[in-house]
Structure 1
Amino acid sequence: MTCDQHLMLYARLAGFRLVVLANRFGCESNFSECLHDRLLEGLDAAIDRIQMIIELERRLFDDNDEFTAYQLASEIEIFGCFTIDLLDEIDFDYDTYEYRFNDGEWIMALTADDSGVDIDYPSLVALTEDELGSLGSIIDDIVRETGIPVHANRIVDAQDIRQPQER
């Protein structure tokens, strides 16, 4: 991306931040307010990253420093992996059969007893349009206009997914 493209992305993110902030006033539940707050935090983090990239581009233009060029390349690479998680996130370690929720403590997914070994990982399920409410269309616009993925998922136990008829 060029400096102009980063500046346009900054303007889009700031605009979406205002839209989400205005939309938050119409929230009817604490859950909806929480989703709006998490999206605002994510947009603020993206804006901070873009501001850093723009500052590094300015410094590189002024000084043409090799270290600044390296920093800029690193920041752009990090921003390329940027996502906004509104609710839950799961990290898996398939080598140790562990997982964790939202950067919490690691939990063992491997269980063994006299009947054998079972590996039971939970899954993420996307929130429905009803759960997202008016935020759903805003999220779609953010993803389409900025390219930043926004995940609105909730954790569901793996057993609940495999055997829904037994719940």
Structure 2
Amino acid sequence: MLMVKLSGFKLIVRANRFGCDTDLAREAHDILIAHLDEFREDLDRVIALWKELLAERDPDKADDAAYDLRDLRIRVEHFWLHNHHPYNVGGWRHADDAGTYRIADECDYELFGAHHWVRDLTDNELCGLRPILDQLAEETGLNIPAVVIYYRPDPGRPAARPMTPFDPDAPIPW
């Protein structure tokens, strides 16, 4: 039943995306669709491993399948159901330039030392996505907060990867 609900919410989000008038709202809809797809894929893998475990006759392969099933169930419970990680639905906005935004990932080292603050996105900014997120949390237990994180990088902190400009006339170092 959960798989059917996730598919239904994906269709609702996709249909709601057509009414979006900002890039931020379209990006939030696209990322939510990607998260719903990823959650469904994890649930599909749990079901496939469960079927493999029931059908396996070799005890060693059955132990491997049981171990994989246990790991995947822990991942689904901790990553999706208990929500121990932030979803990048709102995107990152630079405090000095509110017209641009970018979606950060776990490899975005520039933001680790930045001063930041969090604000909930309004329904107008999300173009109707807020009621869908509330209904998704109510019906499936998958709580996805929609916030925007403003950041201001520390000017005294060096860039993650300092690069010297290329000089074509410089001697070759070797």
Bigger proportion of residues as strand: 1
What is the one-letter code of the residue matched to 2:54?
A: F
Compare relative contact order (CA 8 Å, sep 6+) and give the higher one, 1 or 2: 2
| Whole-Å separation in 2 of the counterparts to 1:53 and 1:143 | 21
Which residue of the other structure, out of 16, 29, 35, is the alignment partner of 2:22? 29
1:87 paired with 2:90, answer yes
- CA positional deviation for 1:13: 0.7
**C-alpha contact 1:56 1:68 (8 A) present in aligned 2:** yes
Which string of whole-angstrom CA distances, capped at 9 and with x for unpartnered residues, describes residues 67-125 of structure 1? 11111111111112225431248xxxxxxxxxxx522342463xxxxxxxxxx742322
| Cα separation, partners in 2 of 1:85 and 1:144, compared to 1, 3 Å | farther
| Whole-Å separation in 2 of the counterparts to 1:31 and 1:102 | 16
**C-alpha contact 2:24 2:126 (8 A) present in aligned 1:** no
Unpaired segments ≥5 residues, structure 2:
93-103, 153-174
What is the one-letter code of the residue matched to 1:152?
A: A
Residues 16-165 of structure 1 aligned to structure 2 (within 5 Å): 16-63=9-56, 65-80=62-77, 81-82=79-80, 84-88=87-91, 101-107=104-110, 109=113, 121-157=115-151
Greater Cα radius of gyration, structure 1 or 2: 2
Bigger proportion of residues as helix: 1
Task: With the length of structure 1 as denominator, give the TM-score of the two structures.
Answer: 0.68
Task: With the length of structure 2 as denominator, give the TM-score of the two structures.
Answer: 0.66
Q: CA RMSD in A?
A: 2.3
| Whole-Å separation in 1 of the counterparts to 2:133 and 2:108 | 29
| Whole-Å separation in 1 of the counterparts to 2:11 and 2:122 | 24
What percentage of residue pairs aligned between the two structures are identical?
Answer: 28
Unpaired segments ≥5 residues, structure 1:
1-7, 90-100, 110-119, 159-167
Q: Count matched residues.
A: 131
| Cα separation, partners in 2 of 1:57 and 1:66, compared to 1, 3 Å | same
**C-alpha contact 1:20 1:40 (8 A) present in aligned 2:** yes
